[in-house]
Chains A and B, each alone.
Chain A
Amino acid sequence: SQTIHQWPATLVQPVGSPLSLECTVEGTSNPNLYWYRQAAGRGLQLLFYSVGIGQISSEVPQNLSASRPQDRQFILSSKKLLLSDSGFYLCAWSVRLAGTGELFFGEGSRLTVL
């Protein structure tokens, strides 16, 4: 069966520090991969998605970046965190089909920037 792992689950970082959130999927090949952010009381904001290694589509032109160094690995990064980067970050994957399919979410990473 397929599983998705996301870490760390919780982190507290000072403003201006770097960030690295990692996500890996097991039990499938060539998945579509996604990073969403869920601010308190808000919806799921699409940050990045990837349909293949090295292929990243950015929806939010901020100080965040994403990379996909391996087929089943998706990394969210920042060189210098802002207070507004605080939130709940969710990684997700879907089967690569002709059209968009069901997303399977990880357990999330809660980031607090102080």
Chain B
Amino acid sequence: GENVEQHPSTLSVQEGDSAVIKCTYSDSASNYFPWYKQELGKRPQLIIDIRSNVGEKKDQRIAVTLNKTAKHFSLHITETQPEDSAVYFCAASPGGNKLVFGAGTILRVKS
């Protein structure tokens, strides 16, 4: 089955700097790659997603890139702010409405 690995597990950045979180997946049939943000004590919420027919997608300060050949995708956050501090999860869907998550990255933005 699909296996998603996520790095780093913890990331600390200075306010205003960029943050990059990387994920790899194992199933070449996977075609949908969302990113979720979970603030402390809250439920995960979708922040951006990308499908396999697109290489990059951007939404204001966040962007996701996908390399299907290498089977990896990344989340980029620019001009980080304290409210970006949270746990970020990547995920991959090998089809059939199944969604497999990575282990998560704790992002701390220091002001």
> Bound state CA distance, A107 and B46, in angstroms?
15
**A103-B6 contact given A44-B89, A90-B43, CB 8 Å threshold:** no
> Bound state CA distance, A46 and B89, in angstroms?
13
In this complex, how many residues of chain B approach chain A with their Cβ under 8 Å: the count is: 25
B6:A57 contact, CB within 8 angstroms: no
B97:A100 contact, CB within 8 angstroms: yes
**A43-B98 contact given A99-B32, A100-B32, A102-B46, CB 8 Å threshold:** no
Q: Please tell me if A7 contacts chain B, counting CB pairs below 8 Å.
A: no
Q: Please tell me if A34 contacts chain B, counting CB pairs below 8 Å.
A: yes
**A106-B43 contact given A94-B97, A100-B97, CB 8 Å threshold:** yes
B101:A46 contact, CB within 8 angstroms: yes
In this complex, how many residues of chain A approach chain B with their Cβ under 8 Å: the count is: 23
B43:A99 contact, CB within 8 angstroms: no
> Bound state CA distance, A41 and B41, in angstroms?
13
Which B residues are CB-close (under 8 A) to A108? 43
Which A residues are CB-close (under 8 A) to B104? 42-44
> Bound state CA distance, A57 and B97, in angstroms?
10
> Bound state CA distance, A32 and B89, in angstroms?
20
Q: Please tell me if A80 contacts chain B, counting CB pairs below 8 Å.
A: no
A-B contacts, 16 listed (Cβ < 8 Å): A42-B103, A43-B89, A43-B102, A44-B89, A44-B101, A44-B104, A46-B100, A51-B97, A57-B96, A57-B98, A59-B98, A90-B44, A99-B95, A102-B46, A103-B34, A103-B44
Q: Which of A's residues lie within 8 Å of B, judged by CB?
A: 32, 34, 36, 42-46, 49, 51, 57, 59, 90, 94, 96, 99-100, 102-103, 105-108
